[in-house]
Amino acid sequence: MLKNLNILRHQGKQFIPDISSAKLANTFRGRPVISSEEVDENELMELCPTNAISANPVCIDLGKCTFCGECAINFPKKIQFTNDYKIATNIRENLIVKAGNDELIQLNVETIRKEIQEYFSGSLKLRQVSAGGDNSCELELNACSNVNFDMGRFGIDFVASPRHADGIVITGPITENMSRPLQICYDAIPDPKIVILAGTDAISGGIFEGSPALNRSFLSKYKVDLYVPGNPIHPLTFINGVLALIQKRK
């Protein structure tokens, strides 16, 4: 018993007291900032492994970006990744960062379905489905509930049964072989329910875009309530994104 108490004491304080103001290492690649510096835009676009960069003006689509940082390393004056991890949004277009526009990525409150804050602001139970995910977003979603991030304190938990869930969190590019189980799981969740896409692979297919082994037709059927970019997502991006989605607004 004493030994157990000692072990507990030796851990110190591990939890992050304020999830919304925690600071990450400067090296973390979160929201990019694109300057208006003139560069060879074709060369810049050619560099990107997932065609996330478009030209005139230069834009980076965080829904496609793998956050490898290669563009920022080759064009340091043009592109810089900041350590701003609050990059989740409910509007797909908001993930596109434009040159010369240093605005935060936020949710559009107007377009959040009314029932979300009505039903889920105090408690949200989520069912996660990995549909071709490489286990990196899955590791990070698990980390959301560990002693460091402790998402449970906000009433947000992952549950085993879709019957107990209020929504679905999809990771991975959605493979043909997972398309049916994903649909069955979604159908088993009672209404009203939300859809969250976690990670670049889920949002756009990422590096797997164009593979004949994918079947992303599920996404054309339902409204996505939250896009959480990252490769993998950072737990802070996920938690802050979900909190912003379900937050009670007067």
Partner 1 sequence: MNYISVKNNQTISFNEIPELEYPLFLEQNVFTLLKNETAHCVSYYGIKLENCIKLICCIADDSENDIKISSCIVHVNEPLNSFAHHNLVFEKFEREIFENFGVNYTNHPWLKPVRFPADRFSKNTSIKDYPFFTIESEELHEVGVGPIHAGIIEPGHFRFICNGEQILHLETQFGYQHRGIEQLFLSKKKLLQRSTLAENISGDSVVAHSLAFVNLWESLCNVHPDQSLKFERILALELERMAIHTGDLSAMCTDIGYQLGSAVLGRLRTPLINFFQKWCGNRLAKGLIRVGKTNFPFTQELEVELAKILDDYEKDFEEISDELFSLPSALVRFEKTGVVSTELATKLGNTGMAARMSNIKRDIRYSHPHDWYCEFVHEPILKQNGDVYARARLRKKEINQSIAYIRQLIKTFPVREFELPPISTPSVNSFTISLVEGWRGEICHSAITNSNGELVHYKIKDPSFHNWLSLSIAVRNNEISDFPICNKSFSLSYCGHDL
Residues found near partner 1 in the complex (CB under 8 A): 3-4, 6-8, 10-11, 14, 24-25, 27-29, 47, 49-50, 66-70, 73, 81, 128-143, 146-148, 158, 160, 172-173, 175-178, 180-181, 185, 201, 206-208, 210-214, 231-232, 234
How far apart are CB 213 and partner 1 at their closest, in Å?
4
How far apart are CB 137 and partner 1 at their closest, in Å?
7
Closest to partner 1 by CB, 123 or 211: 211
Closest to partner 1 by CB, 112 or 137: 137
Cα–Cα distance measured from residue 88 to residue 11, given in angstroms and rounded to the nearest whole number:
32
How far apart are CB 250 and partner 1 at their closest, in Å?
34
Closest to partner 1 by CB, 79 or 112: 79
Closest to partner 1 by CB, 3 or 248: 3
Instruction: Please measure the distance between the N-terminal and C-terminal CA atoms of the chain and give it in whole angstroms.
Output: 48
> What is the CA angle 133-134-139, rounded to 5?
90
Residue indicated by tokens 């960069």: 53
Closest to partner 1 by CB, 23 or 36: 23
How far apart are CB 108 and partner 1 at their closest, in Å?
28
Own/partner contacts of 176-179, CB < 8 Å, gap of 24 or more, are 176/213, 176/214, 176/215, 177/213, 178/129, 178/130, 178/131, 178/132, 179/131, 179/215, 179/217, 179/218
How far apart are CB 62 and partner 1 at their closest, in Å?
15
DSSP structural state of residue 103: P
How far apart are CB 54 and partner 1 at their closest, in Å?
17
Largest CA distance in the chain: 66
Cα–Cα distance measured from residue 227 to residue 200, given in angstroms and rounded to the nearest whole number:
9
Closest to partner 1 by CB, 45 or 224: 45
Write out the two tokens for 117.
Answer: 């804050």
